[in-house]
Amino acid sequence: MLVVSGVDLMGQRSGATRRAHHTDEFEYDELIVRRGPPFATRLQLQQPYDPELHRVCLELLVGPTPQVSKATHILVPVGAPLPGLGWAAEVRDSSSNSLSLRVSTAPTAVIGKYRFSVKTRSRAGEYQMPFDPRNEIYILFNPWCRVLRCFGIATRTVTNYNSAHDTDVSLTMDVYFDENMKPLERLNADSVWNFHVWNDCWMTRPDLPSGYEGKQGGIFCCGPCSVEAIKRGQVYLKYDAPFIFAEVNSDKVYWQRQADGTYKIVYVEEKAIGHLISTKAVGSHQRHDITDLYKHPEGSEAERQAVETAARHGTKAHIYKNKEWGEDVSLSVETSEAIMGQDVSIQVALSNRGSSSHSVALSLHLAPMFYTGVTGSTFKQESRQVQIPPGGAQSVRMVVSYAEYQPHLVDQAALMLSGWGKVAQTGQVLAKQHSFRLRTPDLTLTVLGPAVVGKETQVQVVFKNPLPQTLTGAVFHMEGSGMSSPKATTIGCGGQGDPGASRLQEPTAPDADGCCLPHGGVGDVQPQGHNHRTPRDLRLVGEAQETFRELVLGLLRDRQRRETYVEEQGPVVNPGVRVYVPTPMPGGTRSLDASRDIVWESEEEESCCPRRKASYQRTRHNTLIPTFSDHLDPQQVPWLLPSRDPAPSRGGSSPAPRHSCVSLRRVPHKASYW
């Protein structure tokens, strides 16, 4: 049988695959690729490969329960592409002991960490290579890099807190209980995430009636959806309006199973979903609240009308036809600041708006909660009998100690309180779910010296232990793009409570990669100072952006114009020619790596037209286009571009310009798309 003795995924950070997939900035040496483009791998064999006798199949699995039907268990026969799936593997080279493959991933492949293995089959039998933890592949998506903004379309990121996830298009968040008001988790598929993020963009909508242009929302594969349609509850307007409406303005509906097995609405919570819808403020880093763009004020007649309009187009259109739930007694929950390691105090307030006294049988259940709103098993519960005078209120306090909640905490240290009650005199059922997070201690980071590119500096990290017990084996994870590779440091924390603080000092060396080519090079050159961005400056930038946008669109549409433009632009330098280039580095000769420093006019090996990477980039369609910086005059807008003038000497006079002798050499490999 054909035995595979080893696999080389060629995932080194400095390797050709990582550079071609633009993942070489990730400071890991595992194989990290983007879905769609191919990557190379090499199989080590114990005998020569014969395509007539041997069958080789690559196996990739992602997730805890991989399934072929869900495209999380992938089988890729070598030499036979999978119809409709986009996965393929072809032989590039075969020697006595190895088999080099070119593997293509599907553009729609699941994003995540894949486990990679190999199966073989021959007349002698089948072989399954054991899984090696080192054979893992990270498959990422191809980011759009704010492409809407690049084309001049106003776009912003929006965050919605208490964001609902409606799974049955009912336009409500449904919570089911049994006869004793115990949650029926098998039916509770809807959930409330602590937050969710999407993008708003400004565009016309000729496919919708007049009045629905402007802001359009979109999340993962959703949208564009008119924000005005969401505000009005007009979920029949495309695209994906029902899901987005449910995220920001659905009601939370509590259902109780009756004795005959049917379910009855016992309470509707109207203000549980869609809080503090936010984006970044213009001109500052402050939060800007835009809740009013997505919905009318909570409880207003317009907001209630929007909710009922939306529900009429859902799968439970009858919900608001006959409102049978009463409102004499109301229930609310408040939690004082909950700090990890301390007791948690929960206040449950009952208010009676009726004209007679009421007796309420109250039950409280506390359970851990994941960030998706899914809860674990209840670990604390209490039952109380509460008497409420007419027009009065009563409070019930529930105290949870650290010893009670600590063993049950999950990822973000969140807890969910489910409270329900029944009014003896009227039969009214009360229900409420309240989630909260325990505050974890802050990490204090202090730079202990000046941070200089290329030089080591010390960073102090301080952690204060808030728990009533000593921590041992604490692990600090540190990383910083361009400063420090991911690393983990295990230390022993100090004591407990107030005296228990741990201090860690770690060296870090900020770096700046890229060559010091003129006009946009990276190095010790600092941008010119400019304290005031005048209206004239902003106008010049706006004009340059528009000029750049028109140029790029024109070049992409017209091949002849594109070729003419590239021919007219310079400088073009043949390989091996020594040229002098102004640079802030000390004089000296060094070679430029084509894969890092320059971009080539053509991807062909015999191409002889290198261009400055700072001034040109290659699109995914193999088109060479200029960068935005070439459309600004650095004399007019100096605060946007690096200075090309050397700093004056201490004596006040300007030194002679420094130059470095640079030798261009062509590295024999295909250039990447920039």
Domain ranges of the chain: 4-140, 145-325, 328-439, 444-523
In 65-107, DSSP assigns E strands to 73-77, 88-94, 98-104
Dihedral sign, CA of 145, 149, 151, 154? positive
pLDDT at 467 over 80: yes
**pLDDT at site 665:** 31
**pLDDT at site 103:** 94
**pLDDT at site 506:** 65
**pLDDT at site 571:** 41
**pLDDT at site 514:** 33
> Percent of the chain beyond pLDDT 90?
28
For the record, the structure tokens of 544 come out as 């340059």
The CATH homologous superfamily of the domain defined by 328-439: Immunoglobulins (2.60.40.10)
In CATH, the number for domain 444-523 is: 2.60.40.10
* 241-249 and 301-311 helices, crossing angle to 10°: 140
pLDDT at 620 over 60: no
pLDDT at 609 over 70: no
pLDDT at 582 over 60: no
Answering whether pTM is above 0.75, one says no
Q: State the CB neighbour count (10 A cutoff) for residue 212.
A: 19
What span, in angstroms and rounded, lies between the C-alpha atoms of 550 and 563?
16
pLDDT at 507 over 70: no
What span, in angstroms and rounded, lies between the C-alpha atoms of 188 and 372?
13
Quick check: do 4-140 and 145-325 share a fold?
Answer: no
**pLDDT at site 292:** 94
Phi, psi torsion values for 86, nearest 5 degrees? 85, -10
**pLDDT at site 100:** 94
Distance, CA of 635 to chain centre: 38
pLDDT at 375 over 70: yes
Q: How confident is the model at residue 612 (pLDDT cuts 50, 70, 90)?
A: low
> Which of 470, 498, 619, 612 is closest to 555 using CA atoms?
619
For the record, the structure tokens of 336 come out as 């004082």
**pLDDT at site 291:** 94
Pick the CATH number of 145-325 from 1.20.1440.20, 3.40.50.300, 3.50.50.60, 3.90.260.10: 3.90.260.10
| Average pLDDT of the chain to the nearest whole number | 76
pLDDT at 57 over 70: yes
pLDDT at 171 over 50: yes
Element spanning 240, H or E? none
**pLDDT at site 669:** 29
Which residue(s) pair with 120 in the sheet?
Answer: 56, 127
In CATH, the number for domain 4-140 is: 2.60.40.10
